[in-house]
Chains A and B, each alone.
Chain A
Amino acid sequence: MTITTQVWDIALEGLTAGYGPKVVLENISTVLPGGKISMVLGGSGCGKSTLLRQIIGLSAPMEGKVLLGGNDFFAMKDAEFRRMRRRMGVLFQDGALLGSLTVGENIALPLREHTHLKEAEVQEIVLHKLSLVGLAHTTALYPSQLSGGMRKRAGLARALVTDPPILLCDEPTSGLDPISAAQMDALLLEMRERFPSMTIVCVSHDMESVKAIADHVLVLHEKQVIFQGSLHNLQETTKPYLLQFLARAPMREEEQGASYPLSEATRAHMHRELELQ
């Protein structure tokens, strides 16, 4: 079943972004292709989530453009900017469900705010979306009553409730056990099958997840894009950092920065204090 016809490419042109004076991403130009699952990879603190915040429109770039379907997101007038935002579904790291609302109310929120659907229709959609993520039995529960994995799935249901053509996920599998992570991957693949025109962008550093679902991969390192292309191309790379990343190899000693050895006397004292001896 196809729900939208337009495929939304996400293009970044000379994007420089950061917080205050601190630059996290510098002069990045890339395209995240529409209708595919793009995975943004990189080490912790390399700017993956910052990139996502730019695409969502939560932070404006210091320089450069974010183009959605060819239109400059941050140059849009307020009404058009808001209309564009409604075309996005976002899954935050911990789901970001509103704690004062039940799961059902959370999923229904965008529909109740932006549509004049009858309550029965809203309930039907909510149940459908929750059943897609296997949580149809949780409508009356509060987010605090769910496990981390369930909160993420409920967050995904909320992100999908308006059938958005663009789905953005911030670390969808982080903190999940292998079975829940595989379930989340399967859900994203199912979304791609159900909605072939949907552009899905996931920020992650979970290589298993990348291997399972990625059509397109973008790797960030030291403020720059150091790789963009298919998973197949990534696996054939010869770049040292990428090889290290793919092989889960630890940093070399010279890359780790300053070293502070612990004296034996301090260690022995600590153990005595902790009654380990």
Chain B
Amino acid sequence: MVTVPVVAVGRASLAFVGEMGAMLIFLLLGMRHMCSSTKQLQRVLRQVHVIGAGSFFLIALIGLFTGMVLGLQGYYTLTRYGSVGMLGSAVALTLIRELGPVLTAIMVTGRAGSAMAAEIGVMRISDQIDALEVMDINPYAYLVSPRITACLFVFPLLTAVFNVVGILGGYLTGVQLLGVNQGVYFYSIESSVVFADVAGTFIKSVFFALTVVTVCCYKGFFANLRQDGMGPAAVGNATTSAVVLSCVLLLLVDYVITSVLL
């Protein structure tokens, strides 16, 4: 009786590790076909449009408000220590090192990742993936690879947009609203942000892209194997699970990469 919770935790852990392994194999199968034919380019461009262009304004909006809040919070915190001149640096480093890649990835997960899981899940339960197989069209090449390639392009670009718009948001509150000197704001950014910070933001966004696209495609692709529902319910559960697991793994991956980069 005492061992029951331990057994349950052990089973859950084994299942989690097993699923992570399955997802890694899924990712490798998808990556294997990334450059398999010239026809992939068209599919990649379509996904870039769906994931990237479709998320652009959302990312810009979130970036703007995040920067504005950072500007406000940073101003009042730094004022206490007489270091308001460091506002630009605080906003930029917070965005570039941490919030930019993480919030971009979470936003894209919510908007495009959930759509990926749902679309592929519906294709699975309505025999469309089976239809691809019997037409001798590799579903990994057709559905997964273009999304991986597109995410590898789109995540860094959207992260860059988030960072730039966020810094402008900080400028709006810090400089335009609260009166910090414009030159000081930008000089502190220029003097504190180094190449390693920018490289770090892109490295993180690439890892986040792989995490999100793998989890979301995997959950949709195997929606028919879920134990917690059948048919449309399975697609709904797969989508929820894709978003939740992506967000959790993003933060886990973020911690690991940050600890390696620092």
The answer to whether A114 and B122 touch (CB under 8 A), given A94-B127, A96-B127, is no
Interface residues on A, range: 20 to 34
In the complex the two chains form, is A58's CB within 8 Å of B137's CB?
Answer: no
- Which of A83-91, A213-221, A268-276 lies on the face that meets chain B? A83-91
Contacts A86-B135, A96-B126 supplied; 12 other A-B pairs, CB < 8 Å: A56-B130, A57-B134, A58-B130, A82-B136, A85-B133, A86-B136, A90-B131, A96-B130, A98-B123, A110-B137, A113-B39, A113-B136
Q: Smallest CB-CB separation from B137: which chain A residue?
A: A113
Q: A112 contacts the other chain (Cβ, under 8 Å)?
A: yes
Q: A93 contacts the other chain (Cβ, under 8 Å)?
A: yes
Give chain A nearest CB distance to B205 CB in angstroms: 27
Q: B181 contacts the other chain (Cβ, under 8 Å)?
A: no
Question: What is the bound-complex CA distance between A206 and B18, given in angstroms?
Answer: 44
In the complex the two chains form, is A85's CB within 8 Å of B137's CB?
Answer: no
Q: Which residues of A contact B133 (CB under 8 A)?
A: 58, 85
Q: How many residues of B contact A (CB 8 A)?
A: 15
Give chain B nearest CB distance to A148 CB in angstroms: 13
In the complex the two chains form, is A110's CB within 8 Å of B135's CB?
Answer: yes
Q: Which residues of A contact B127 (CB under 8 A)?
A: 92-94, 96
Question: What is the bound-complex CA distance between A172 and B145, given in angstroms?
Answer: 33
Interface residues of B in 112-134 (CB under 8 A from A): 119, 122-123, 126-128, 130-134
Give chain A nearest CB distance to B40 CB in angstroms: 11
Give chain A nearest CB distance to B79 CB in angstroms: 53
Q: Which residues of B are interface residues toward A (Cβ below 8 A)? A: 39, 119, 122-123, 126-128, 130-137
Chain B interface helix/strand/loop/mixed: helix
Give chain A nearest CB distance to B186 CB in angstroms: 45
Question: What is the bound-complex CA distance between A163 and B134, given in angstroms?
Answer: 14
In the complex the two chains form, is A88's CB within 8 Å of B134's CB?
Answer: yes
A112 contacts which of B39, B122, B134 (Cβ < 8 Å)?
Answer: B39
14 cross-chain CB contacts under 8 A:
A58-B130, A86-B136, A90-B131, A92-B131, A96-B126, A96-B127, A96-B130, A99-B123, A99-B128, A109-B135, A112-B39, A113-B135, A113-B137, A158-B135
Give chain A nearest CB distance to B91 CB in angstroms: 41
Question: What is the bound-complex CA distance between A98 and B86, given in angstroms?
Answer: 54
Interface residues of A in 52-96 (CB under 8 A from B): 56-58, 82, 85-86, 88, 90, 92-94, 96
B134 contacts which of A58, A97, A114 (Cβ < 8 Å)?
Answer: A58
Question: What is the bound-complex CA distance between A114 and B122, given in angstroms?
Answer: 25
Q: Which residues of B contact A57 (CB under 8 A)?
A: 134
Q: Smallest CB-CB separation from A87: which chain B residue?
A: B136
Question: What is the bound-complex CA distance between A94 and B132, given in angstroms?
Answer: 14
